[in-house]
Structure 1
């Protein structure tokens, strides 16, 4: 597969592994030990840099325009470092910062939100737009957190969880459309 205006860079003998069905938009930079699953979409001008640890992105997840995903390497208090693990069917909004954390299947990170080292966002849980989830915090399954620093707001109901999954389906289809348009 050929990617137009995309940097795919090997670092420390680690080369990104990208599933053939994934959509990687022009302007993206994919660096180091990154694994991208089936039907993932990485939108315009995102940076995924795994030069000191690793990043894994599960099937059908999307990382929207201008977002940055990074990880942290080994430290004396945490010899395994802080990899970034993104589950399946995850939505990450435009210009988000996702760093050294775990996003469970069906998690949602809002526009311009920041998730820091050691954090975990549970299944069907949401970090609201502009929120800051400080180090080592955990959002339990099906909770909405907002603010800076982020705090629990309420539970996610069935309708909102279903709406998030509609968003996932939209991004899978839209990624296929953009991929076809670019590949011509």
Structure 2
């Protein structure tokens, strides 16, 4: 992993968090207990803080920048972008989705893969948003998907215990 300070501010990574060796974490970034940051992910806290809360996972190739808050047990899918936005507890940002400045993804909500949540959009809790720009598709009645982050907490522990860089 690349942990790099910026203007004297160093990332803070909890001892139980998993940050993959191929991830880049710069500046004012906090990665809390049992959170995970996967390969080729960039968390760049060079102008505002970034927080990845307890049990959250930021998956392969994702980018968080500019005052991004990834709430507890959130899943940010592969190659998604969270830019100056808040994703609340147990929400899911699908693969390749983009969540822009001042947007809020409510607790237990889903942003479908490939969607674009425009600036200032507030997604209500437990709703599915999809499209470009993302609009409400339906209210969610089944939250079984919300345990995805729990799965990643366990997967991260296995990676931390068993993964080695092979020459």
Partner of 1:178: helix, strand, or coil? helix
After superposition, the Cα gap between the structure-2 partners of 1:18 and 1:183, relative to the gap in structure 1 and judged at 3 Å, is farther
> Does 2:109 correspond to 1:125?
yes
Q: Deviations over 1:142-175 (max 9, x none)?
A: 1100001100000011x2x22222x111101100
Shift of 1:183: 6.0
Q: CA RMSD in A?
A: 1.1
The partner residue of 1:59 within 47, 54, 57 is 54
The TM-score, its normalising length taken from structure 2, stands at 0.96
CA distance in 1, matches of 2:104, 2:86: 5
* Contiguous gaps of at least 5 residues in structure 1: 1-5, 72-82
* Contiguous gaps of at least 5 residues in structure 2: none
Aligned to 1:156: 140
The TM-score, its normalising length taken from structure 1, stands at 0.87
Structure-to-structure mapping, 1:1-184, within 5 angstroms: 6-71=1-66, 83-157=67-141, 159=142, 161-165=143-147, 167-182=148-163
Shift of 1:138: 0.8
Misfit runs of 4+, over 6 Å: none
